[in-house]
Amino acid sequence: METQAVETAAAVTSGGAQAPAGMAWQDRYLLNLAPMDDIHREFVSLVNALLVAPPEADLVPLMDALVEHTERHFAMEQRWMEESHFPPTGCHEDEHSRSLAVVVAVRDKVAAGDAALGRTLARELVPWFDNHVASMDWALASWIARTGYAATA
Ligand SMILES: [Fe+2]
Ligand SMILES: [Fe+2]
């Protein structure tokens, strides 16, 4: 009986047969700016891939894809901020720079064998994205809608 309880506890703490929690698209992420919504769907998909990767999976290609995406995603928003003369560009730019630096640093740690750190980053990116979309990206999308700037991918 006691052995069974220990085995049950071990199965629960290791995730058991349950699928790991992923990151699903939420309609609250929609900012009604198609190229931004599209790249945000891509972000969610990449973070989800990291979150649901099985324990034996090689996370390096997934981290490489996340680095490539993050550089392209932030560069696109940067271009829009500059071309549309978005007033708080510096604040949004700083947040992007800090976040990209973390993603790149974690990619290198994962490549050096610390897969757990990649999974931790992915978990932390879920609330980070929620907040970033609702604040900085929302402000940029609102500015673009107000000014009529033609934001393209
Ligand atoms: Fe964004
Ligand atoms: Fe952003």
Q: How far is the CA of 92 from the centre of ligand 2 (A)?
A: 6
Of the listed ranges 3-17, 25-39, 115-129, the least confidently predicted one is 3-17
Q: Give the distance (Å) from ligand 1 centre to CA of residue 13.
A: 34
**What is the whole-number distance in angstroms between the Cα of residue 109 and the centre of ligand 1?**
24
Q: Where are the domains of the chain?
A: 41-147
Q: Which ligand is nearest to the CA of 136?
A: 2
CATH number of this structure's domain 41-147: 1.20.120.50
Residue 118 has pLDDT above 80, yes or no: yes
Cβ neighbours of residue 115 closer than 8 Å, sequence gap 6 or more? 59
What's this model's pTM, rounded to 2 decimal places?
Answer: 0.87
144 closest CA partner among 76, 55, 51: 76
Q: How far is the CA of 68 from the centre of ligand 2 (A)?
A: 15
Q: Nearest-CA neighbor of 86 among 144, 128, 137, 41?
A: 144
Instruction: Compute the CA torsion angle 134, 137, 139, 140 (nearest 10 deg).
Output: -170
Q: Which ligand has its closest atom nearest to the C-alpha of 31?
A: 1
Question: What confidence category does residue 66 fall into, taking pLDDT thresholds of 50, 70 and 90?
Answer: very high
Ligand nearest to the CA of 35: 1
Looking at the predicted structure, is the pLDDT value of residue 132 above 70?
A: yes
